[in-house]
Amino acid sequence: EAQVTQNPRYLITVTGKKLTVTCSQNMNHEYMSWYRQDPGLGLRQIYYSMNVEVTDKGDVPEGYKVSRKEKRNFPLILESPSPNQTSLYFCASSPVSSNQPQHFGDGTRLSIL
Amino acid sequence: DAKTTQPPSMDCAEGRAANLPCNHSTISGNEYVYWYRQIHSQGPQYIIHGLKNNETNEMASLIITEDRKSSTLILPHATLRDTAVYYCIVLTDSWGKFQFGAGTQVVVTP
């Protein structure tokens, strides 16, 4: 089954403790992207990747890192999480670019205390 | 800056057609109009997209005006499961960046 898988689905952690949210897709898609969703602010793009070893900033990249060492994986790294990064996070992929239908994961709900 | 304008909410009776408008008056010639929806807090779901011509798939129809400054998403027979936030998106110049707007909260009632 074609899917985008995020882990963990839920995480409660404390300020400053490094964490990684993994994202994996099994569709051989070149494009992957991370979004966060907050009440009143909607969905905002954090980072995206057009291909392996190619990443670029979205609208809200501060406090996040990403890497794209393999086509299927696009982890989101919070080196020193802070409470303002408490949010619902979505990973997405598409065959080539944002200009094609994106497939989204089920989301990761992060709470930073 | 938002490139699309949608009504914040609308109601629709179950079984009736739902017509969701979107204004994109600054759209340029090579920009597509995309529609996604998000049911509660699930991941957004792609619905349909188009450039100039009207499009139809198993989920919906997309009607784009001749001047391309507005479009309408049509859900032909709305069901309760169609209750969701619907996003109309015109892509930015970059093929990597992607911006959702505020969307339209559609509530389908029995």
pLDDT digits (tens, 9 = 90+) for B75-100: 999 999 999 999 999 876 567 888 88
Subunit contact B45:A107, Cβ cutoff 8 A: no
Q: What is the pLDDT of residues A53-85, one digit of tens each?
A: 999 999 999 999 999 999 999 999 999 999 999
Determine the length of chain A: 113
Q: How far is B92 from chain A (nearest CA, A)?
A: 9
Is the pLDDT confidence value at B45 over 60?
A: yes
| pLDDT, position B1 | 47
For residues B7 and B22, give the distance between their C-alpha atoms in angstroms, rounded to a whole number.
8
What integer pLDDT is reported at residue A40 of this predicted model? 86
Contacting residues of B for A105, CB less than 8 Å apart:
43
Residues 27-56 of A with CB under 8 A from B: 31, 33, 35, 37, 42-45, 48, 50, 56
User: In terms of DSSP bridges, do strands A108-112 and B55-56 run parallel, antiparallel, or are they unpaired?
Assistant: unpaired
Average pLDDT for chain A:
95
CA angle A14, A16, A22 (to 5 degrees): 80
Nearest alpha-carbon partner for B97 in A60, A86, A41: A60
